[in-house]
A and B are shown apart, each in its own frame.
Chain A
Amino acid sequence: SQQGEEDPQALSIQEGENATMNCSYKTSINNLQWYRQNSGRGLVHLILIRSNEREKHSGRLRVTLDTSKKSSSLLITASRAADTASYFCATDATGANSKLTFGKGITLSVRP
C-alpha cells in the first residue's frame, strides 16, 4: 500500500530558485527518508529524519517533519540544473529490517 504521497507530482523551476517538495503519510513512523533518482538509474539516499526530530540539514537540503500532521517537506536551496531528477519520500514504520514504503515521487526539472 502507498504510505507516502508526494506533492506536487511535478515541479519546474529556474536555476537558482528554491524547490520545495512535500510528503504526507498515513501511519506512525520511526523515520522518514528522501531519495533521489536520476532517469533510468537506481535511487540515492539523501537524508533521514527520525520521528523525534523536527528539522535536519545537509548541504543545500533542508528536511522538516511534522508528526502531528504526518507530513514532511524537502527544500533544495539555490537549485542547479544537476538537481533535475525524481525525488521520493519513504517511510519506515516498523523500525525492523528497514522495510520502507515509497511514494510515487516528484519530478523536478531545473531550467538552466
Chain B
Amino acid sequence: SQTIHQWPATLVQPVGSPLSLECTVEGTSNPNLYWYRQAAGRGLQLLFYSVGIGQISSEVPQNLSASRPQDRQFILSSKKLLLSDSGFYLCAWTDPLAGGETQYFGPGTRLLVL
C-alpha cells in the first residue's frame, strides 16, 4: 500500500533562518506531487506541483522554492523565512496512471516563524 510521510511534524524557526521540509511517498512510482500551505482557519493554497524529477511548477510568487531530487521525494525550501511563512504545510500525491484525480495527503508540518 502507498504511504506518504512528512517531516518534521512541527518546526519553530526564527525570521531570516533557512527552511527545509521533506515529503516522501512509498509504494508508488512516478507520482504527481504537490505542496500546499494552510493558514489558520483557511483553505489550502497550492504552492508547487511536480509531474517528474526536476520538474517544478510554481503557483504563487513567494520566497519559497521546491525541488524533486528523486522520484518520490519532494522538498520545500526557503533561504530566509518571513513571519508570513507561518502555517500548516501539506504534501500530497496523485497517481497519474489511475487518473490522477484523487489527492492523498501527508500528515502535515506545522511551521511557526517567530
Spell out A's residues near B (CB within 8 Å): 2, 4, 31, 33, 35, 40-45, 48, 88, 90, 92, 97-105
Contacts and interface: CB of A to CB of B under 8 A. Distances in A.
Nearest to A104: B43
A59 B21 CA distance: 36
B43 A98 contact: no
B87 to A, nearest CB: 13
A4 B108 CA distance: 22
A36 B46 CA distance: 17
Given A35-B103, A43-B44, A100-B103, 7 more contacts: A33-B103, A40-B108, A45-B104, A97-B51, A97-B96, A98-B100, A99-B49
Interface in B71-103: 88, 90, 92, 94, 96, 100-103
Nearest to A101: B46
A67 B99 CA distance: 22
B43 A105 contact: yes
B49 A41 contact: no
B110 to A, nearest CB: 7
Contacts of B106: 42
B32 interface: yes
A31 B94 CA distance: 15
B10 to A, nearest CB: 10
A33 B44 CA distance: 14
A94 to B, nearest CB: 11
B32 A102 contact: no
Given A42-B105, A43-B105, A97 B42 contact: no
Contacts of B96: 97
Given A42-B107, A42-B108, A98-B32, A33 B43 contact: no
Most central of A98, A99, A100, A103 by chain B CB within 10 Å: A98
